[in-house]
Amino acid sequence: MEVFDYSFDNLAKLIKGFTEKLHIGRYSLYLMDYGAPIGFRLAEKHPERVEALIVQNGNAYKAGLREFWDPIRAYWQNPSSANAAPLAGFIAPAGVKWQYTHGVRDAEKISPDNWNVDLRHLTRDGNASIQLALFYDYQNNVPHYPAWQAYFRKHQPPTLIVWGKNDHIFPAEGAYPYRRDLKNLRLHLLDTGHFALEEDGPVIAGLIREFLRSELPAR
């Protein structure tokens, strides 16, 4: 049985193959969290396929990697069991719930179904090692940042940023630098956390509709 090597390069190849299998030649990308480095790989490699970008708490600048990343950076430097131990909390029940509720206006309105469904998958046999592999491989996204920024400057894709500004994982400091490289950019910082759709889904949906109607009127 072939073993899949969990890396962002391989995940990008998987998604690229999926779009090509379905003969999707043009698309807009919604980029969030781990999906951002996957989508930016696709955009950099095939800019002619990208009609627009929608970025929601997805990083492409070093300024967006702050103190949350310190224990992960320690693991990058030395992937020992001692440095892996603190990372287990990110996929434990309390840690997953925290990702959904930290920084929101009203945690009581966030459905527990979110973290319970996530945990059902995160606690499958073998998943802990997969998550560790992705934590470790995330360091390989950082050297790509200059190339992704060059892609922004050269190709200028219409871009909408809808960012939960209270996110501790990908804080708002990662949203502002896009303004340096993108001319056709709409930036909205929302008073919510990491999973901004959970609290501001209707707001974000409305902004996306307006953005796409304006930038891709023929669609």
Give me the active site residues, please.
Answer: 194
What does each C-alpha distance from 216 to 51, 157, 212, 213 come to in angstroms?
A: 8, 11, 5, 6
Sign of CA dihedral 159, 162, 166, 168: negative
Complete DSSP assignment for 158-169: -EEEEEETT-SS
Residue 34 — φ and ψ, nearest 5°?
Answer: -65, -25
Q: Judge whether 103 and 192 are in contact, CB under 8 Å.
A: yes
Q: Is 93 helix (H, G, I), strand (E, B) or coil?
A: helix
Q: Residue 121 is encoded by which pair of tokens? A: 């998958």
